[in-house]
Amino acid sequence: EARAGVLGNPNNPGGCLTIQGALVCGDEAAKIRRELLELRIETLEAMAERFEEGKNAGEFSGDVDTRRLARYLSAVIQGMSVQSASGATHCELKGVAEQAMRAWPD
């Protein structure tokens, strides 16, 4: 929900620099595209590590694929960013977050 608040706030620019920035730059900005990609990979890795810690602590059932869960959550967040850039409201983005949480593992 916090992400929906940031992305859906009309006082903030729509979207997310690490996602949108890499999609719209040309060949002359290849270095920037790589840096943004590295940031997204670091975020994905951090989520996967945190989910693995949670799994080891019993926060998830034993059969949760923590890397797959991190990739799924990244895809949802990135999609919310694209929706934000397309004008989605806070309420609409909150709905996306709530729907994603219905798929959250036990």
Q: What are the backbone dihedrals phi and psi of residue 55, each rounded to the nearest 5 degrees, phi first?
A: -65, -45
Instruction: Tell me which residue of 3, 94, 91, 99 sits closest to 47, measured CA to CA.
Output: 3
Q: What is the rounded distance in angstroms from the CA atom of residue 50 to the CA atom of residue 36?
A: 21
Instruction: Please tell me the distance from the alpha carbon of residue 40 to that of residue 35, in angstroms, as a whole number.
Output: 9
Model pLDDT, residue 9: 62
pLDDT in tens, 29-50: 788 888 888 888 999 999 999 9
Mean of all residue pLDDT scores within the chain: 83
- Predicted TM-score of the model (pTM): 0.77
Give 20 or 55, the one with higher predicted confidence: 55
Q: How far apart are CA 104 and CA 50, in angstroms?
A: 15
CA–CA distance, 36 with 42 (Å, rounded to integer):
10
